[in-house]
Chains A and B, each alone.
Chain A
């Protein structure tokens, strides 16, 4: 197979799937089912001391379904019920 390298842009010169030039994300897509996600929980640390863990997921999850409904409704022209409410992020 032809592997000649040149100064051509990305799409003509494939990034060879060999050695250190492989991006870790591309490798992890293939080695871990479903790829990799960084969680929505953030641990804030200073000087290597973990101080607090914030569950953004819990905060946002209560808002996100509304956001998706708004977007879906925009596309379907149906009226939307309700407005954004804060719910107990226990889910």
Chain B
């Protein structure tokens, strides 16, 4: 009847397979909002890159193949990046969820939560 999926895999087709009826997305903004909306767009992309960087760094650190001074350098850089992102978000009144733009076929930009 129904397939028993891998317990770790969600039981539905991935949103990123690109099928499904596509509706255009229009961002209606106004002279007051436009700055905030554009910043949100940009910060969303920056946040994606930051998360990718963090994941990659953590993999290397967990693998244990980096010398201690490299680990420290990586950690400091990422820590500062996270602080900078927080500051930017605060300045524009955005929280982490605001930066999770849904890209339709690509799924939400950031993995859930």
Contact = CB atoms under 8 A, between A and B. Distances in A.
Interface of A: 28, 32-47, 50, 54, 56-57, 59-61, 63-64, 66-67, 70-71, 73-74, 79-80, 83-84
Interface in B18-70: 19-31, 34, 37-38, 41, 45, 48-49, 52-53, 55-56, 59, 63
A82 to B, nearest CB: 10
B56 A38 contact: no
Contacts of B96: none
Interface size grouping (class) on chain B = 35 or more
Given A45-B29, A67-B52, A74-B59, A56 B22 contact: no
A38 B27 CA distance: 12
A37 B22 contact: yes
Contacts, number: 108
Contacts of A57: 103-106
Contacts of B20: 32-37
A32 B63 CA distance: 46
Contacts of B102: 38
A25 to B, nearest CB: 11
B34 to A, nearest CB: 6
Q: How would you classify the secondary structure of chain A's contact residues: helix, strand, loop or mixed?
A: mixed
Contacts of A54: 41
B48 A79 contact: no
Nearest to B31: A46
A63 B109 CA distance: 11
